[in-house]
């Protein structure tokens, strides 16, 4: 995902990069290893930032909301957000802030999932209500593009990508059994139990559950 996130991005040691909604800094760390630039992460959750600081003590990590970034305008050479936009109460405000802190001529990239990609998840097969829930949470790609254009981004474009298929093993079943995916907490207990029973049956009969994760990269630039 990071390779595609940074596609076409040329940054030197003087550049500054911002990860909006960095969480526990998994992707922040990967991006920092791929770049020689300074990287800053922000997240609303103090608890997640505490975990992030343990994993990435050398990174600058700040507590802040996506719609009120604590930075001056025209500061960053690249701003990105991975799997965050569906958590925001008003993602247009966050887009305005991302544009504000960007240097003229620089770009932002939002990594998310389209409604079609949500439908193709393995969890959607066994727990179809989870797809319904997440399609309400996730703004579809056309809405993100319209919003980015509306707040002032230029050259807005999107590109879907599917990763190589993998065979899901017992670790996937264990995670589902622990309701380790947030959307499983948003469906009824009855649907969850029915889906879990069907999933266990698929494993018991030796079905190879092949899944190809999909993401969409929505990119926009700030005018020079």
Nearest residue to 48 (alpha-carbon basis) of 24, 82, 84: 24
- How close are the terminal C-alpha atoms of the chain, in Å? 28
What is residue 65's DSSP assignment?
B
| Class of the domain covering 1-112 | alpha beta
CA distances (Å), origin 190, targets 176, 180, 197, 202: 15, 17, 11, 19
Model confidence pLDDT, tens digit, residues 33-76:
999 999 999 999 999 999 999 998 999 999 999 999 999 999 99
> CA-to-CA distance for 183 and 170, rounded, in angstroms?
20
* Distance separating alpha carbons of residues 167 and 150, to the nearest angstrom: 41
| Residue-level pLDDT at 116 | 96
User: By three-state DSSP, how is residue 101 classified?
Assistant: helix
**Model pLDDT, residue 182:** 86
What percent of the chain clears pLDDT 90, i.e. is strictly above it? Answer: 92
Give the number of other CB atoms < 10 A from CB of residue 25. 24
pLDDT of residue 53: 95
Degrees to nearest 5, angle at CA 12 with 6 and 14: 125
The structural domains of the chain, with segments of one domain joined by +, span 1-112
What tens digit of pLDDT does each residue of 195-220 get? 999 999 999 999 999 999 999 999 99
* pLDDT one-digit tens code per residue, 141-190: 999 999 999 999 999 999 999 999 999 999 999 999 999 998 899 999 99
* Closest C-alpha among 11, 9, 44, 5 to residue 28: 5
The pair of structure tokens assigned to 86 is 């569906």
pTM of the complete model: 0.92
Rounded-to-integer distance, Cα 74 and Cα 51, Å: 29
Q: Mean pLDDT over all residues of the chain?
A: 95
Query: Could you tell me the two tokens for 108?
Result: 């932002």
């Amino acid at each position: 995902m990071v390779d595609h996130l940074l596609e076409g991005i040329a940054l030197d040691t003087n550049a500054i990069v911002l990860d909006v909604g960095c969480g526990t800094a998994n992707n922040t760390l990967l991006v920092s290893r791929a770049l020689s630039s300074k990287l800053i992460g922000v997240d609303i959750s103090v608890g997640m930032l505490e975990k992030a600081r343990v994993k990435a003590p050398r990174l600058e990590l700040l507590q802040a909301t996506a719609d009120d970034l604590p930075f001056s305008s025209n500061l960053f050479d690249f701003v990105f957000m991975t799997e965050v936009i569906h958590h925001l109460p008003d993602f247009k405000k966050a887009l305005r802030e991302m544009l504000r802190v960007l240097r003229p001529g620089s770009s932002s990239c939002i990594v998310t999932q389209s409604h079609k990609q949500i439908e193709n998840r393995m969890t959607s097969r066994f727990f179809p209500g989870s797809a319904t829930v997440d399609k309400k949470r996730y703004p579809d790609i056309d809405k993100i593009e319209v919003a980015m254009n509306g707040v002032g981004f230029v050259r807005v474009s999107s590109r879907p990508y599917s990763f190589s298929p993998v065979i899901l093993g017992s670790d996937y079943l264990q995670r589902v059994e622990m309701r380790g995916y947030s959307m499983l907490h948003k469906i009824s207990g009855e649907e969850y139990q029915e889906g879990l029973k069907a999933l266990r049956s698929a494993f018991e009969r030796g079905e190879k559950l092949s899944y190809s994760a999909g993401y969409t990269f929505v990119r926009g630039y700030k005018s020079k």
